[in-house]
Structure 1
Amino acid sequence: MVERKWDGWRALRFRGLDGKPRLWSRNGQPLNGADQVVHQLGLMQRVAGVPLFLHGEIVVDATLYATKRWFESGRRRGGDKGRLHLFDVLTEEEWPAGDCNRPLHERKAWLQELAAAVRDDPALSWDWRPGSRSGDDPTAVQVVEDEWAFTESDVHDMVQRVWAVGGEGLMLNDPERPCRRKRGPAWVKVKLDNWSKWESPRRAA
């Protein structure tokens, strides 16, 4: 399962000690200034009927630089920015255990179902967050699309398409992999700085 790697900040959505859901960085820092994203994730949780842990990459103005500036200082001036590219979902009960045996392709399908349910239900899509003077941007939360690669040539063609539009690279995932809190061989990044180890075998073949 191949997904585009978005060049932003890793964002985790779960409830804090006060019971309020927020976006958090990998280091446990709150990512304030993306209220419309948090609101739309809450709508997805309403559909699910259980507290959710959601995992994605948040990007401001399509660049890592703009993302970093916004969450480190820009958001203090007020406003609301960011687009969250979601790639995984667990229940909050599953997440603390750090061990979910449901395979990735099932979790991804559930993620797509939740997003579609919010998008297609007028009662949810028109549920404006408190304090908002207009409806939220419906593209503020997107599920990362995936394709299937069967050969190294498939990976080569896909990553070239991503680079052609200024993207960072790809994530290669074993669709059967469970969720674990540690890195392993079931997912691999393909970026310019590690492309040589992919390109050399391809040329040799």
Structure 2
Amino acid sequence: MPEGGVLAERKWDGWRCLYFRGLDGKPRLWSRNGMPLEGADHILHRLMLIEEQAGENLFIDGEVVVDGTLAATKQWFERGYRKGGVDGTLHLFDVMAEAQWRAGGAETPLIERKALLAGLVEQMPADTWEWREGSHGADEAGCVQLVADTWLFDDAQVLTEAQRVWAQDGEGLMLKDAAAPYICSRTSSWLKVKQANAGKWKAAA
């Protein structure tokens, strides 16, 4: 436990979802393995609006979830999207300039990156009246949400918060060092607490 505590976020049970530009210069959603994620154009549209407010190309990190489960998320992005339409909610937890991410990460502390992300999300209107053609309102703001966080200061508080999330059928917690930079590799600055391994906190990339 870092001196001064950790930021704790709910661990959403979905797929890691990254927003950045491909080699063709077009912004897309990607899996953590670098595969493009199709079937979530409503999310992509909202992130492009957030990026427009920032005034620079962004790298955005989050977890995309369909129907609240990993199984439904996997089914949708592997084959369900081929039937047409869009699905999923993106839970955002990190942001930086895309140039920083391409250089290996950001030295800016997590707490400052999270504040930047919160500000960008809060500036977005609750809805966009000029929906994309054929979207039927799927681009509403609810498809992109900021992951809430809370401060925890000892093991007992961690387990209490984890039990609260488990009682709501959540997967667990992510514990993050608020002063840590963003490093594009596995690091002990992010720790995962899951019900199957409570007490065995796992480093997460």
Q: Is TM-score (shorter-chain normalized) higher than 0.5?
A: yes
What is the CA distance between 1:119 and its match in structure 2?
2.8
Corresponding residue for residue 56 of structure 1 = 62
| Cα deviation, residue 101, structure 1 | 0.7
Q: How does 1:154-169 map to 2 (within 5 A)?
A: 154-169=157-172
Q: Which of 120, 140, 144 lines up with 1:114 in the alignment?
A: 120
- In the alignment, what sits opposite 2:102? 96
- Letter of the 1:7 partner, please give it: D
Q: CA deviation at 1:135?
A: 5.6
- Shift of the 196–150 alpha-carbon distance from structure 1 to 2, 3 Å rule, reads closer
Contact 2:193–2:200 (CA<8 Å) still a contact in 1? Answer: no
Higher strand share: 2
Q: Distance in 1 between matches of 2:191 and 2:66?
A: 24
Whether the aligned pair in 2 keeps the contact of 1:10 and 1:58 (CA below 8 Å) is: yes
Question: One-letter code of the match for 1:182?
Answer: S
3-state secondary structure, aligned to 1:110: helix
Letter in 1 for 2:197: N
Instruction: Give the structure-1-normalised TM-score.
Output: 0.91
* Alpha-carbon separation, structure 1, partners of 2:93 and 2:174: 10
1:179 aligns with 2:182: yes
From 89, 94, 97, give the equivalent of 1:83: 89
SS across alignment from 2:152: coil
C-alpha contact (below 8 Å) 1:86/1:141 kept by paired residues = yes
**% same residue:** 54
From 27, 32, 41, the counterpart of 1:26: 32
Alignment of 1:4-43 (within 5 A): 4-43=10-49
Partners of 1:91 and 1:126 in 2: how far apart?
28
TM-score by length of 2: 0.91
Q: Judge conservation of contact 1:162–1:169 (CA < 8 Å) in 2.
A: yes
State the Cα deviation string for residues 155-204 of structure 1 (Å, max 9, x = none): 11100110001100000000000010112221100001221447xxxxxx
Runs of 4+ with >4 A deviation? none
Change (3 A) 1:187 1:135: closer
Distance in structure 1 (CA, Å) of the matches to 2:200 and 2:86: 40
Aligned equivalents of 1:77, 1:130: Cα separation in 2: 18
Give unpaired runs (5+ residues) of structure 2: 1-6
Q: Identify, as 1 or 2, the structure richer in helix.
A: 1
Deviation at 1:100, TM superposition (A): 1.1
Does 1:138 find its partner at 2:141? yes
Instruction: Return 5+ residue gaps in structure 1 as ranges.
Output: 199-205
Pair 1:150-2:150 in alignment: no
Q: Partners in 1 of 2:20 and 2:116 — Cα distance?
A: 17
Residue 18 of structure 1 and its aligned partner are, at CA, apart by 1.6
Q: Secondary structure at the match of 1:38?
A: helix
Separation in structure 1 between the aligned mates of residue 182 and residue 34 of structure 2, nearest angstrom:
19
Cα distance in 1 for partners of 2:40, 2:132 equals 12
RMSD: 1.4
Q: Which entry has the higher C-alpha Rg, 1 or 2? A: 1
Residue 165 of structure 1 aligns with an amino acid whose one-letter code is Q
